[in-house]
Structure formats: C-alpha cells, structure tokens
Structure 1
Amino acid sequence: MKFLIVGLGNIGPEYSLTRHNAGFMVLDRMAAQHGFTFSMTRLAYTAKWQHKGKQLFFVKPTTYMNLSGKAVLYYMKQENIPIENLLVITDDKDLPFDKLRLKPKGSAGGHNGLRSIDESLGTQEYARLRVGIGNNFSRGKQVDFVLGQFPEDELIQLPAYLDRAGDAALTFCTMGIQAAMNNYNQ
C-alpha cells in the first residue's frame, strides 16, 4: 500500500526556519531520524521509504506555497496514490504553537497552499495535519509572522514537536486516520 505525505513550505535558505515551512521541517526531521534522503525531482524534492509494510512517498514542493497543488496532483498521478492515502502537513496560525490537529478533510482556512491543492485536486476530501504556529501578531502583520523565524523559546521545543508530528503522520499510514486523530489531536 502506498501513501503520499506532502510537507508544505517555500524553498530557499531565507525560508528554512520560518513558521510557514513547518511542513518541510516535519519531513526533514523524519528523514534525519529514519535515514531516508530527498532528491530534486520534477516540481519537488522527493523521497521514498518503506515502513511497516507500507511504501511512503514524501514530497516537498518546489513550486512555492501558492502553487503546491501542481506538485501534489503530479505525484498522486505519477505514483498512482488514491486520495484517501494522501496526507498534507502544513502550518496553522489558528492553532497554538505545540498543538497538532489531524482532520480527514476540511477547508483551506485561508491557507494558500491548501487552496492550491483544493483547486488542483478539485476536492477538499483529503487528510491534513495542521501544525500550530500560534498567532502572536498584530493586525496587518500576518505575512511577517508566518514568514518569520521561530523565537528562541519555541526553537528549543521544536525538535520534540516535529517528532510528534512525524509520529502522527506514520500513525496515519499504519493505523489509519481515526487512530492518528485519537492519539495526536489535542
């Protein structure tokens, strides 16, 4: 059984530790822990890994956030992965830092990466793991906040947080969405 796990973010060193790159960070942390590596391919950095009898295909789109759907649609078709085996990992400013929320479907909620995926797939019926980044910004400063770096106190907690998000993704693949939601939604 094959699964597509997509981490959303923006490419380039200026974005590497920004809140908006939480999806990329989860996948990078998983790669470091489990020993798989990403390679540049069409529209994305990709990696494959076998885990508990499942073939996992990881994607970090290089299309920038607003065009993430192009890469998701391409690799779903390329790898012949059904939509119920798709998990998109993204940042969420409406969740406090250190909170995860896994859902089987939902709206884009103002997130341009999810909006692009919705448009490319023609549906909102796919699982998403939202990684809370908080919303400690003043009116009109949302872009600066999501494209800003994590403060020092959050950076200290970040590795354990990313590990938990990676564990939630693996639980989704091995035990299903309901078990993952029961174990990781807070």
Structure 2
Amino acid sequence: MSTWLLVGLGNPGPEYEWTRHNVGFMTADELARRARASFSSARGMRAGVAETVISVTGLGIPPGDKLVIAKPRTYMNESGVAVGKLASFHKVAPDHIVVVHDELDLDFGQLRLKQGGGDNGHNGLKSIRAHLHTGDYFRVRIGIGRPPGRQDPVDYVLGTFPGAMREDLAVEIGRAADACEALVTEGLASAQNRFNS
C-alpha cells in the first residue's frame, strides 16, 4: 500500500475563506467531501487532516492506497512546517506529494499540472521547498489572474472572490479536484493532457 499526501494551500480562519489565496483549501475540502472524509486536527502536525483508504468505488486509486488530504493550520508563508511534518510522519516521498495552490500567472479558468519547478514568488511554495529540501513534488496550479491596474498582488490574493464569480469558482474547484484525482490515478502525463489549459 502506498500513501499520497495532497495538500491544499491557504490561510486558516473565516476571514480568509473566500480569498483567492485559499483555492487550495477549497479543493482539499471538495476532495474530502467526495471521499466522505472529515478533517480533524492531527496531533503535532499543524494541519487539519482527512485520511481515507481508497476502495474500488472511491476516487479510483488502486484499492488499499491511502490518501492523506491536508490543510495547514499555519499561515501561507509557513505551509512547509505542516507539509514537512506530514511527509515525515506518513513516510511520503516528494513523488507522492501533490500541492494545490493559486497561480497569479494563469487567468481565472486556467489550470496547470506539473512536477517541480520554481516557486515564482509564492511564499507557500518557498516554505515547502525549505522544509522538504526539494521542489520536486507535484503541483496543481489554479489560475486566479493578475491584479487589475496597480493593485498590490498581496492585497489581490487576500481579496475575496466577488459574489458573481462564486458559481464559476465552484466549477473551477471541481475541475481542480478532478485533476488531483487524475494525477494520482492516471499519472502526470495523462492528467496534463486532460486538464492543462
């Protein structure tokens, strides 16, 4: 039996719930909902964790494989603390870690899957690299677009999605969850062919 660690990035607390920076949390919530798994506080892990052993009728991962879905309870710039602890505890190598995060360089509605690469100024990814000592994990990048005009990118990512976008947002979160499932069940190349836009 192998274990996959899927981490949705975001900031904890209700004030951040609908912010652009929290699309990773939203995707983790959707995956947990599909797996009928609930998040609980994992002792010493600094994360909310939902664990499931996948059956044939589950997400399609080979029967018996374990999926650990996590939402760090640290702020974004310390995400690596939780990821490092979880990876060590569950003995998960980077090639079985999937990080879901917002991406300024992709327009809203775009999705990209990849393995490795730079951090592109994303503080959550920088922290994960520092704690894993590598950037060679899988990423599901959810486009949020660039801020309009001269708006500070920090203010933009911490801004909430307008109410008018919530329906489209739900569709995009569903697609991101589908992409996560495809990545762990079919492999990167197949998932990229289906979801990279």
Bin for the TM-score computed over the shorter chain: over 0.9
Question: Structure 2 CA distance, aligned partners of 1:140 and 1:19?
Answer: 14
Q: TM-score if structure 2 supplies the norm length? A: 0.91
* Superimposed CA distance per residue, residues 109-158 of structure 1 (whole angstroms, 9 cap, x where no aligned partner): 00000000111111111111100011133325211110011123321111
Contact 2:9 2:71 in 1 (8 A): yes
Structure 1 residue ranges without an equivalent (≥5): none
The aligned counterpart of 1:31 is: 32
Question: Structure 2 CA distance, aligned partners of 1:29 and 1:4?
Answer: 15
Question: Structure 1 CA distance, aligned partners of 2:53 and 2:179?
Answer: 16
Q: Which residue type is aligned with residue 175 of structure 1?
A: E
Question: Structure 2 CA distance, aligned partners of 1:125 and 1:176?
Answer: 15
The aligned counterpart of 1:13 is: 14
Within-5 A mapping of 1:10-159: 10-41=11-42, 42-51=45-54, 52=61, 53=63, 54-159=65-170
How many correspondences in the alignment? 186
Quote the offset at 1:182 in angstroms: 1.2
- CA-atom RMSD, angstroms? 1.1
Q: Which residue type is aligned with residue 124 of structure 1?
A: G
Structure 2 residue ranges without an equivalent (≥5): 55-60
Percent identity for Structure 1 against Structure 2: 41
Question: Structure 2 CA distance, aligned partners of 1:31 and 1:11?
Answer: 17
Question: Structure 2 CA distance, aligned partners of 1:153 and 1:17?
Answer: 12
Quote the offset at 1:48 in angstroms: 0.7
Q: TM-score if structure 1 supplies the norm length? A: 0.96
Question: Structure 1 CA distance, aligned partners of 2:112 and 2:67?
Answer: 21
Task: Specify the SS of the correspondent of 1:81.
Answer: coil
The aligned counterpart of 1:168 is: 179
Q: Which residue type is aligned with residue 146 of structure 1?
A: V
